[in-house]
Structure 1
Amino acid sequence: MKTYKIIVVENDEDEQFFMKEGFDSTGLFEIITMVKSGDELFEWLEANMDSQPDLILSDLNMPGKNGYDIIDEMKASPVYAAIPVVITSTSSTPTIIAKCLTRGAADYVVKPETFIEYVPYVQGLYQRITDKKLVK
């Protein structure tokens, strides 16, 4: 099984903690870094040009550059356009999902309702990435 290198963009520290536990316990992903905003994401990408991820998993609603901004900037950049961005949020509203996908998100995954559900969330994310061939 391939292990995907991932950057997680999430502003909530509790959510970061439980996401990391879920990702680490499955062994399906290698978290390169966790950042709290789109601003931090782009700073990290610029400073680490030799360590680009296979995938970026980003929360939608954050202070500073949010998930929409991340999609827009990644797609507009010749350097980063090929890196898939998967948006994650508590919202399952079809218009929000459609807006993200129309803007160029590779996928949209609804966050689990409780922190203890992150292992199945990570396993489902891995399956979606594999099934949809999101990573080259």
Structure 2
Amino acid sequence: MKKYKIIIVENDEDEQLFMKEGFASTGLFEIIAQVLNGDDLLDWLEEHQSTLPDLILSDLNMPGKNGYDVIELIKGNPAYRHIPVIITSTSSTKTIIDKCLAKGAADYVVKPDTFVQYVPYVKELYNLIEQKQLVK
């Protein structure tokens, strides 16, 4: 079973903690960075060119560069455009999901309602990546 290197872009401290615990408990991913927004993501990528992730999981609503901006930054940069961006948010509104996908997101996953649902969330994310072969 492949272990994917992931960067999590999330500004909420509680969500960061829940995600970190959920990802760590499954052993399916290696979190190589957790950053607060798209600005921090871009800085991290520029400083770590030799350690690029297999994928980026980004929150949608954040101060600074948000999830829409993350998609555009990654897809607009030849050095990063091969990295799939999966957007995650509490919103399940179809127009928002469609907008993310139209901008180039590899997929969109709704965040769990409670912290105890993060392990199944991480497993579902892994299965999604495998089924859609999002990581080359």
Normalised by the length of structure 1, the TM-score is 0.99
Unaligned runs of 5+ residues in structure 1 are none
Q: Distance in 2 between matches of 1:56 and 1:40?
A: 13
Number of the residue aligned with 1:121: 121
- What amino acid sits opposite 1:44 in the alignment? W
How many matched pairs? 136
- What amino acid sits opposite 2:75 in the alignment? K
Measure how far apart 1:73 and its partner are. 1.0
Number of the residue aligned with 1:46: 46
Q: Distance in 1 between matches of 2:5 and 2:12?
A: 21
Q: Distance in 2 between matches of 1:64 and 1:87?
A: 16
Pair 1:36 & 2:36 matched? yes
| SS of equivalent to 1:53 | coil
Measure how far apart 1:115 and its partner are. 1.2
The alignment-based identity, stated in percent, is 70
Unaligned runs of 5+ residues in structure 2 are none
Q: Distance in 2 between matches of 1:115 and 1:67?
A: 22
Normalised by the length of structure 2, the TM-score is 0.99
Measure how far apart 1:116 and its partner are. 1.2
- What amino acid sits opposite 2:130 in the alignment? T
Number of the residue aligned with 1:99: 99
CA deviations on 1:15-49 (whole Å, 9 max, x unpaired) are 00010000000000000010001000000000000
Q: Distance in 2 between matches of 1:73 and 1:39?
A: 10
- What amino acid sits opposite 2:119 in the alignment? V
CA deviations on 1:70-128 (whole Å, 9 max, x unpaired) are 00111110100000000000000000000000000000000001111100000000000
Q: Distance in 2 between matches of 1:76 and 1:14?
A: 31
Q: Distance in 2 between matches of 1:85 and 1:125?
A: 12
Alpha-carbon RMSD? 0.3
Q: Distance in 1 between matches of 2:102 and 2:58?
A: 16
Q: Distance in 2 between matches of 1:26 and 1:92?
A: 25
Number of the residue aligned with 2:70: 70
